[in-house]
Chains A and B, each alone.
Chain A
């Protein structure tokens, strides 16, 4: 039997029941990757030796009675390459960090290891998580396993594609403007962007600090909930992490949406939305209605300005966060230079790719003294308005439902030539990051070309359990 097609929880169970050893699970995963990843390029680094020795260690401790309550102990996991792994290359898919080995561990990695997880590899992504296609990686494009002529989405494209291609039982991604949900939708897997502050950002290489959040991508809702149980929780190393105990998301895996109030923003179904996606989303909403939820359309305020506000804020923070890559302390440094200014200029010119440079330029511009009020400050005001709009909606609804992306996965290189169009593809996802809300993307069908369609469910702050329950119930209708 090919165990790589199993869900993470099922593999965890087999390991617990001694039907499978951790080493067997790791080896099966490695074999799968080695046999087929050349076609998809999901991974930047494969941690073959580390994973195998970790497997032996985890097996020993399992046999010694540890991790009885840890359902994912021994299950290999893939991690997006912007999450720092001690002693292991963390590149952010950029030339400027292509040789960077952090001497410290991200909090999420510590937590995964403490739960008995085995890190199998570091996945491909858009450079510094900037992009919606995983085509801006210094390490080459990742292809959509459902159809290799198409992109896997981005920026966590490597993680989503790895899960879709059975090259990972589950994976971690990061979501700044939709980077977990959109590739999950394009690859036909499930991904959660948790409430801002739920998962520690310590060790996540920052793109836009006020928007970034780490989250899980899995084959189903239950796997995502189990992973989120492990990585969530307060961390004193991250001041923005929230002091809240007992998230216990797996408890929300209940097949029941009776009485749940679901709102669909009218604007989410209008212009720009692909017909096939609209039909699929409305059909999914009908399913939930049939199970006892109430569904209605409503107007979500200020949502039209989400994209420009998002790109102003994200780029501003990115321009600041990425200025530390100057060729002085670590990472890539240009070979020929004279004087300090030239080290900076040449290193950054050669080390960063086009999309990253574009956003740093935008960011520096919107923060510059003459334009701060016109752009940055205005974007903050829009952000406040959008938050108000959501607050109002959540007085009436438990969940907001809509598409994750306006279309299915575009063809490779289609988006690169038209970045503005690529930015607009984030229309349904970015407002969630601006407001810090949790959201999940679950597969809800395929278009006529066979490409997956994702449905997005947005919850209140710390309303993960609502969206997990609804997503899980919807998932049951297809089982």
Chain B
């Protein structure tokens, strides 16, 4: 078999986090009963006209700046004409001829190998509605709530060569957008969805092979599987001397294979032309400057700062900044308790463990920086030991309880009465002569047992350091 190279380009649709739609004042809130978030404008009733939401332009520019794009300060909208029941005007207002951002790129890192993925353009457009197929009534219903929700489409160059690179690119893009606050990037709600353009060519070949497009992928796992599946399918075709047909395919993650949706031959002619209902957008230098000044610190800068400012290992900084929610939580907590390493540990170990157990994304963390900081302060003051602290943290993680109150109400404070501790240890030593014998004959493990027994007796509320010290004194 010849050796092949996979060539992948992505078109990523991102729903912007504006409060209102792109061309009217309707809410963009997810959910809501069907057809309750719409008005004559977003449903394209006759005579109505679009009015551009300024925030959409600002968000698109912010995304462009963060991905090193050039901003087209004179851009405009075009109409993309096609019939579909969820597209009420029968055209989508989009940008073809002069997209707002172009010619950018972002750096990805796959197993230590760095590479820049080019971004061809970013353009603004409106979302369509949603069709609901009702098998019970055997009919199709239309929900126009999503009509007019603002989108940006980020079109990459065909620079990716593997699923790993695609995932790295998407993760990076997602983080940039989340840090900018331009989108929540919730894939399960469709706020971030990708079309994959994939082709195969022999290693060393200059020309691209014929590509196929897989539309609306909305989970990283499915994307990785779809790339693998489609790569294999195309190689098999070529190996058998067949040709790859340029077509749109739908990936079925359950069946682990893709199906042809429509071929190039019956592809639509979208009859694009300049949107006459909207005036061209002029982005002044002042406006652009304001947006530039407002750009927040992005992940890469943040990582470097964590390393230098908080003295956090680069690995930890990477994980914490890998989610905007975690990074925000980290910084807020440190601001209160001023113990960066300690905060980082709680996020890296216990938080990660519980997230995994609960099958949650860091974005859905509910607890507050205040309560985590209080917990860390309690430990620092020697009010509770680590065993108790872990138990309290689970409560914080799940219910965001106030640890000070909780420790008090449940009597979890550490026993600091040395006399009581000594009496207890003496009793343990007396009732466990075999272990005492073992320790004295050089079995270090036996000490651990005795510490454990003491802790058990103290109901976990003693300082393990103190137990160790007193035990050793008595046994010496």
Q: Which residue of A lies closest to B279 (CB)?
A: A239
Q: Does A240 contact B (CB under 8 A)?
A: yes
Report yes or no: B50 in contact with A239, Cβ–Cβ below 8 A.
yes
Contacts A209-B277, A239-B51, A323-B81 known; list 15 others, CB within 8 Å. A104-B48, A206-B46, A208-B276, A239-B52, A239-B277, A240-B276, A316-B273, A317-B276, A319-B81, A323-B89, A323-B91, A324-B88, A325-B46, A328-B88, A367-B271
B85 at the interface (CB under 8 A from A): yes
Q: Which residues of B contact A369 (CB under 8 A)?
A: 269, 271
Q: A239-B52, A239-B277, A240-B277 are in contact. Are A204 and B88 (CB under 8 A)?
A: no
Complex: A347 Cα to B276 Cα, angstroms:
26
Contacting pair B142 A328 (CB below 8 A): yes
Q: Which residues of A are found within 8 Å of B88, using beta-carbon distances? A: 324, 328-329
Cβ contacts under 8 Å, B276 to chain A:
208-210, 240, 317
State which of A16-24, A46-54, A95-103 sits at the interface with chain B.
Answer: A95-103
Contact with A along B74-90 (1 / 0, CB 8 A): 00000101010100111
Tell me, in angstroms, the Cα distance from A340 to B43 when the chains sit together: 19
Q: Are A102 and B46 in contact (CB under 8 A)?
A: yes
Which residues of chain A have C-beta atoms less than 8 A from B83's C-beta? 323, 326, 344
Question: Is residue B19 within 8 Å, beta carbon to beta carbon, of the partner chain?
Answer: no
Q: Is the CB of A376 within 8 A of B40?
A: no
Residue A84 interfacial (CB < 8 Å): yes
Q: Is A273 an interface residue (CB 8 A)?
A: no
Question: Which residue of the partner chain, among A97, A240, A328, A340, contacts B46 with CB atoms under 8 Å?
Answer: A97
What chain A residues lie within 8 Å of B277 (beta carbons)?
A: 206, 209, 239-240
For chain A, residues 222 to 247, give those with C-beta under 8 angstroms from any C-beta of chain B: 236-240
Q: Which of A62-83 contact B (CB under 8 A)?
A: 82-83
Q: How far is the CA of A82 from the CA of B45 in the complex (A)?
A: 13
B352 at the interface (CB under 8 A from A): no
Does B110 touch A at the CB level, under 8 Å? no
The answer to whether residues A324 and B44 also contact, given A202-B49, A239-B278 and a CB cut-off of 8 A, is yes
In the complex, whether B47 has a CB less than 8 A from a CB of chain A is yes
- Kindly list the 4 A-B residue pairs having the minimum CB-CB distance in the complex, ordered from nearest: A323-B90, A210-B276, A367-B271, A209-B276
Q: Residue A367 contacts which of B46, B47, B81, B142 (CB distance < 8 angstroms)?
A: B81
CA distance A72 to B85 in the complex (A): 44
Bound form: Cα–Cα A329–B48 in Å? 15
Q: Mark B135-153, 1 if CB is under 8 A from A, else 0.
A: 0000000100000000000
Write out the residue numbers on chain B whose beta carbons fall within 8 Å of the beta carbon of A106.
Answer: 47
Asked if A203 CB lies within 8 Å of chain B CBs, one says yes
Nearest-CB residue, chain A, relative to B24: A237
What is the minimal beta-carbon distance from A347 to any residue of chain B, in angstroms? 11
Tell me whether B47 and A203 are in contact (CB under 8 A).
yes
Q: Which residues in A have some Cβ–Cβ distance to B below 8 Å?
A: 82-84, 90, 92, 97, 100, 102-104, 106, 201-206, 208-210, 236-240, 316-317, 319-320, 323-326, 328-330, 340, 344, 364, 367-369, 372, 376
The answer on a CB contact under 8 Å between B49 and A239 is: yes
Q: Which residue of chain A lies nearest to B275 when distances are taken between CB atoms in the complex? A: A209
Let me know if A368 and B269 touch, CB within 8 A. Answer: yes
Which residues of the partner chain B approach A210 to less than 8 Å between Cβ atoms?
276
- The main secondary structure of chain B at its interface with chain A is loop
Chain A residues with CB under 8 A of B271: 319-320, 364, 367-369, 372
Find residues 25-64 in chain B having any chain A CB closer than 8 Å to their own CB: 40, 43-52
Within 8 Å CB of B49, what residues of A?
201-202, 237-240
Q: With the chains together, A83 CA to B48 CA distance in Å?
A: 11
Please measure, in the bound complex, the distance between the C-alpha atom of A106 and the C-alpha atom of B48, giving whole angstroms: 8
Residue on A with the closest CB to B50? A239
Q: Looking across the interface, which residue of chain B has its beta carbon closest to that of A369?
A: B269
Q: Chain A residues near B45: list those with CB within 8 A.
A: 102-104, 330
Residue on A nearest B271 in the bound complex, by CB: A367
Taking each of B47, B50, B269, which has the highest tally of chain A beta carbons within 10 Å of its own beta carbon? B47
Q: In the assembly, what is the distance between CA of A203 and CA of B49, in Å?
A: 8
**Quick one: closest A residue to B40, CB to CB?**
A104
Chain A residues near B81 (CB-CB < 8 A): 319-320, 323, 367
A102–B47 contact, CB under 8 A? yes
Would B273 and A376 count as touching, CB distance under 8 A? Answer: yes
Which chain B positions have C-beta within 8 A of A100? 46
Q: Which of B47, B52, B85, B90 contacts A202 (CB 8 A)?
A: B47
Bound Cα distance from A208 to B49, whole angstroms: 13
Q: Which residues of B contact A103 (CB under 8 A)?
A: 40, 45
Q: How far is the CB of B35 from chain A (nearest CB, A)?
A: 11
Closest to B144 in A: A329
Identify which of A90, A205, A340 contacts B85 (C-beta below 8 A): A340
Measured CB to CB, the nearest residue on chain A to B23 is A239
Whether B47 lies near A329 (C-beta < 8 A) is no
Residues of B within 8 A of A202 (CB): 47-49
Taking a contact as CB atoms under 8 Å apart, the answer to whether A206 and B91 are in contact is: no
A-side contacts of B279, CB under 8 Å: 239-240
Contacting pair A205 B273 (CB below 8 A): no
Q: Are B47 and A206 in contact (CB under 8 A)?
A: yes
Min CB gap B243→A, angstroms: 24
**Other-chain residue from B43, B50, B79, B273 in contact with A329 (beta carbon distance below 8 A):** B43
Chain A residues with CB below 8 A from B85, complex form: 326, 328, 340
Determine the chain B residues whose CB is within 8 A of the CB of A237 once the complex forms: 49, 51
Report the minimum CB–CB distance from B271 to chain A (whole Å).
4
* Contact, CB under 8 Å: B91 / A84: no
The CA of A100 and the CA of B47, in the complex, are separated in Å by 12
Taking the closest CB of chain A, its distance from the CB of B447, in whole angstroms, is 79
Question: Looking across the interface, which residue of chain A has its beta carbon closest to that of B89?
Answer: A324
Most chain B Cβ neighbours within 10 Å, of A83, A92, A203, A320: A320
A100–B51 alpha-carbon span in the complex (Å):
24
Q: Which among B44, B47, B50, B51 is the interface contact of A236 at CB below 8 angstroms?
A: B51
Residues of A close to B44: CB separation below 8 A: 324
Tell me the complex Cα distance, A232–B183, Å: 40
Q: With CB as the reference atom, state the residue of chain A lying closest to B81.
A: A320
Task: State A97–B142 Cα separation when bound (angstroms).
Answer: 21
The answer for the CA separation of A326 and B44 in the assembled complex, in Å, is 12
C-alpha gap A90/B48 in the complex (Å): 13
CA distance A103 to B45 in the complex (A): 10
B40 touches A102 (CB 8 A): yes
Residue of A nearest to B79 (CB): A320
Chain B residues with Cβ below 8 Å from A330 are 45
A236 to B25 alpha-carbon distance, docked (Å): 12
* B91 CB contacts on chain A under 8 angstroms: 320, 323
B142 to chain A, nearest CB (A): 7
**Closest residue to A211 on the B side, CB-wise?**
B276
Whether the pair A205, B278 counts as a contact (CB closer than 8 A) is: no
- What's the nearest-Cβ distance from chain A to residue B476, in Å? 87
- Measured CB to CB, the closest approach of chain A to B103, in angstroms, equals 24
